[in-house]
Amino acid sequence: MRSSIAHTGPPPGEIPTGPDDTPTAKTPPLPRRTHRLTVKARHEDQSLCEHRVTSSGKPTEAGCTGRHDYVATCSCGGWTQTGSPRTALQYSHATHRNKEAARA
């Protein structure tokens, strides 16, 4: 026996599609993600360096071996990079942030 109710759309929770399987309804926008950069200095043995240094980068405290490199992390959780100098990491993060913005 046939039902008298006509099917007018996809099942609940599915995106309606046209005859060529392209979405016919506008997909919801992705939530905005923040991209804040955190850069931390490290010693050669990979421990964090929170000591004071001179303008030339030499340590002012006894026991500090000096800054070897930096580890940079993005707040989105999808990008981490290690390197030196710090400005190169800042530029690389800006590139990451711009690529993510272009995808949205």
Contact 29, 104 (CB under 8 A): yes
Domain that holds residue 97: 37-103
SS3 of residue 14 by DSSP: coil
Provide the pLDDT for residue 22: 63
> Using CA atoms, how far apart are residues 25 and 62, in angstroms rounded to an integer?
65
Residue 52: closest CA among 62, 100, 44: 62
The number of domains in the chain is: 1
pLDDT single digits (tens) 12-36: 556 556 666 665 556 666 566 788 9
Segment among 2-6, 91-95, 100-104 with least mean pLDDT: 2-6
The answer to whether residue 19 sits within a structural domain is no
**Is the model's pTM score more than 0.85?**
no
The answer to whether residue 8 sits within a structural domain is no
The answer to whether residue 85 sits within a structural domain is yes
Tokens of 61: 């405290």
pLDDT single digits (tens) 51-100: 998 888 788 988 898 889 999 999 988 899 999 899 999 999 999 988 88
